[in-house]
């Protein structure tokens, strides 16, 4: 592995010499290392930012790439570099990132298996918690500032343990159905299994080179990992993370695709994957008898030719009108609400009939992966923040009509609530008012209070404790904090210093699929 990355860096600098031939005064590789490598990886294979390779940039025209480098990108942490780079330097960087690597890494079953580490094999540790806290009211807090995670007692609001994680974790770890284990995915492909009872890492494996996220099956037997690089879905045995199967992500025409996101749909006994470069959603059954969930509409899907046409884990394709980067399930997991990246609309996909059944009036870039739902005037509604527009959209989940747009102080990233709370919380993640958090009354659909818990610092991501009595808010800063509020009075109770706590995840709410949090 060390040899491989050294080789890649050598090739990167060799490529810069070729590119420098267009302008002998510009060293594109060194510009990349100075301005881009921290987020996108020294080898261009991705980090917190995506891999910068021709295959991953095929939906982005070179002219647009130059604009992104110059002006930054809305709804991301991509900064504007126009005040630091000349037009000629930007053009050189664009040519550089669109130049193929001389050697593309292979990451198949052999490489995955070689990375496997199991310090505590399944069932080798005691089945009784080593602490006296409620195991269902614990939080996992991901601290991106120094690559750690904290297990927090949700009753006393005291840390039980703080441990080092892999670099650049994806913010959404997933629990086993009983809440005993939590699974993390890092951007560079590492999957880690942590025993919440014994407070120990029990297994790790590298399932990809640049990973999007993971999902845990509703029966707790499997973990599915979605990758940006290589273009694969990887199925793992949840016990010790042994690899079971690799699904090459390709269209029927042979075109390959990154995976935008993968989630479990427990009532259906399947995983649902959105694809970034192919206008399809895939449903992969993990049931021992997959036929019943497909009965009645076999004609509406095709197995992946040459790979999953027979046997376990069949792949069902659902064709869409547009690419799907993000989506939200209704409470029954019958319908999938997807955000199209055309900036104009969303779409509702019925998983029973396997096709789109409605368009959604959703412009901008709604963050449906952070959507929540609740009952309003006898109807279930869904609310979603928007990564580009200063508003929260409210959708009636019977008519699929947008019934209200609530103006906010800026684009938001996360929205959260709880069945026992009258309020929904939404942050203002982007823009000059990023230190603000709105409190929305779920009965009146009006903002009733705006908090600024740390002026000038980004306030984001609320998560409730198991009974909805407290709301925990993050200050996204290296010298940040988790702030505990009384969810009824909205008064601050406690502030715990933490290093850029990107997200907090309550065991009970996640494993019981609370309507107020993401699944």
pLDDT tens readout for residues 492-514: 999 999 999 999 999 999 999 99
**pLDDT band, residue 238 (cuts 50/70/90):** very high
**pLDDT band, residue 11 (cuts 50/70/90):** very low
Ordered domains of the chain (ranges, CATH): 2-97 (1.10.760.10)
Regarding predicted confidence, which is higher, 99 or 164? 164
Give the per-residue pLDDT at 61. Answer: 82
Angle in degrees, 0-180, between the axes of helices 62-71 and 87-97, rounded to the nearest 10:
130
Regarding predicted confidence, which is higher, 121 or 294? 121
Angle in degrees, 0-180, between the axes of helices 2-20 and 87-97, rounded to the nearest 10:
130
- 346-357: average pLDDT: 93
DSSP secondary structure letters along 378-411: TEEEEEE-BSSSSEEEEEETTT--EEEEEE-SS-
Give the per-residue pLDDT at 290. Answer: 59
Residues 428 and 409: beta-carbon distance below 8 Å: yes
- 238-261: average pLDDT: 94
Query: CA of 401: how far to CAs of 249, 352, 398, 407, in Å?
Result: 33, 21, 8, 18
- 392-420: average pLDDT: 97
- The Cα–Cα gap between 365 and 340 comes to 8
- Low-confidence winner among 41-45, 184-188, 311-315 (lowest mean pLDDT): 41-45
- Kindly report, residue by residue over 265-301, the tens digit of the pLDDT: 999 999 999 999 999 999 999 998 755 454 433 333 3
Task: Report the mean per-residue pLDDT for the chain.
Answer: 88
- 469-490: average pLDDT: 97
Give the per-residue pLDDT at 16. Answer: 41
Residues 14 and 8: beta-carbon distance below 8 Å: no
**The pair of three-digit structure tokens given for residue 319, joined into one six-digit string:** 């064709």
Pairing mode of beta strands 181-185, 437-441? unpaired
Give the per-residue pLDDT at 343. Answer: 65
Give the per-residue pLDDT at 21. Answer: 37
- The Cα–Cα gap between 216 and 199 comes to 19
Give the per-residue pLDDT at 360. Answer: 92
Helices and strands counted in the chain (H then E):
8, 32
- The Cα–Cα gap between 477 and 358 comes to 40
pTM: 0.86
Give the per-residue pLDDT at 94. Answer: 84
Res 391 pLDDT > 90: yes
- 45-67: average pLDDT: 77
**pLDDT band, residue 487 (cuts 50/70/90):** very high
- Low-confidence winner among 41-50, 85-94, 163-172, 421-430 (lowest mean pLDDT): 41-50
């Amino acid at each position: 592995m060390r040899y491989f990355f050294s080789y890649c860096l050598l090739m990167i600098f060799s490529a810069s010499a070729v590119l420098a031939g267009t302008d002998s005064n510009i060293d594109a590789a060194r510009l990349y290392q100075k301005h881009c490598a921290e987020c996108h990886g020294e080898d261009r294979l991705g980090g917190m930012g995506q891999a910068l390779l021709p295959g991953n940039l095929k939906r982005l025209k070179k002219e647009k790439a130059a604009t992104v480098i110059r002006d930054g990108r809305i709804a991301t942490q991509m900064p504007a570099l126009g005040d630091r780079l000349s037009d000629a330097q930007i053009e050189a960087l664009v040519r550089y990132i669109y130049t193929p690597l001389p050697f593309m890494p292979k990451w198949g079953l052999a490489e995955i298996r070689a990375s496997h580490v199991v310090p505590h094999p399944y069932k080798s540790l005691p089945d009784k918690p080593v602490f006296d806290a409620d195991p269902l009211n614990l939080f996992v807090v991901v601290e991106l500032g120094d690559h750690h995670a904290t297990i927090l007692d949700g009753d006393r609001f005291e840390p039980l343990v703080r441990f080092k994680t892999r670099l650049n974790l994806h913010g959404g770890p997933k629990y086993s159905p009983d809440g005993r284990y939590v699974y993390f995915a890092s951007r560079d492909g590492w999957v880690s299994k942590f025993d919440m009872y014994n407070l120990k890492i029990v297994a790790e494996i590298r399932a990809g080179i640049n990973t999007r996220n993971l999902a845990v099956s509703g029966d707790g037997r499997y973990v599915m990992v979605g990758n940006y690089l290589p273009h694969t879905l990887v199925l793992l045995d949840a016990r010790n993370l042994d690899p079971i199967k690799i699904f090459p992500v390709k269209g029927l025409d042979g075109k390959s695709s990154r995976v935008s996101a993968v989630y479990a749909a427990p009532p259906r006994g399947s995983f649902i994957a959105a694809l970034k470069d192919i206008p399809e959603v895939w449903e992969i059954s993990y049931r021992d008898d997959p036929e019943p969930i497909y009965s009645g509409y076999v004609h509406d899907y095709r197995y992946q030719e040459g790979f999953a046409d027979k046997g376990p884990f069949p792949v069902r394709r659902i064709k869409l009108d547009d690419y799907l980067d993000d989506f939200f399930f209704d409470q029954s997991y019958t319908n999938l609400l997807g955000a199209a990246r055309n900036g104009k609309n969303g779409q509702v996909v019925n998983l029973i009939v396997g096709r789109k059944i409605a368009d959604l009036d959703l412009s901008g870039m709604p963050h449906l992966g952070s959507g929540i739902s609740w009952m309003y005037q006898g109807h279930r509604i869904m609310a979603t923040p928007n990564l580009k527009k200063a508003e929260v959209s409210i959708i009636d989940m019977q008519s699929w009509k947008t019934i209200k747009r609530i103006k906010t102080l800026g684009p938001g990233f996360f929205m959260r609530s709880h069945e026992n709370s009258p309020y929904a919380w939404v942050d203002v993640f982007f823009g000059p008012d990023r230190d603000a958090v709105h409190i929305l009354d779920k009965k009146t659909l009006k903002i009733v209070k705006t908090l600024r818990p740390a002026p000038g610092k980004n306030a984001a991501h609320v998560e409730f404790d198991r009974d909805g009595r407290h709301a925990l808010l993050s200050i996204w800063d290296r010298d940040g904090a988790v702030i505990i509020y009384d969810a009824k009075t909205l008064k601050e109770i406690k502030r715990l210093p933490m290093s850029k706590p990107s997200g907090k995840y309550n065991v009970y709410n996640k494993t019981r699929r609370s309507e107020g949090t993401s699944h």
